[in-house]
Amino acid sequence: MPEKTNQVEVTLLGKTHQFACTKGQENLLLDAANLLNERVDTMKQRSTVRNEQNALLLAALHLCHDLQALEHQQSSQQQAQQTLIEKLSLYLEVD
């Protein structure tokens, strides 16, 4: 059965857009739009980028970089946990 969706109005770069959003996820979409708007503003303040579309691209690139860094960190932590589990299993088997 398909998930129900709602139309959510989001403002990006000062323009309003309508997006279909899974019911119950509206606030997450609005939060994501707010984060992107904040990052665009930061890019415009911190760099020589003044064009909104270039600032948007730079903000999106930074967000993707942050996501990749978090995924790498999570993967490293999972590997460390797996190593600990294996060591504990070996220790427990000795008894």
pLDDT along the chain (95 residues), means of 10: 84 93 94 94 84 90 96 97 94 76
What's the whole-model pTM score?
Answer: 0.74
Amino acid at 58: L
Per the CB < 8 A criterion, the answer to whether 23 and 3 are in contact is yes
The pLDDT, as a whole number, for residue 48 is 83
The pLDDT, as a whole number, for residue 44 is 87
Residues 6+ apart with CB under 8 A from 30: 8, 10
The pLDDT, as a whole number, for residue 63 is 95
The pLDDT, as a whole number, for residue 1 is 57
Q: Domain spans of the chain?
A: 5-94
The pLDDT, as a whole number, for residue 13 is 87
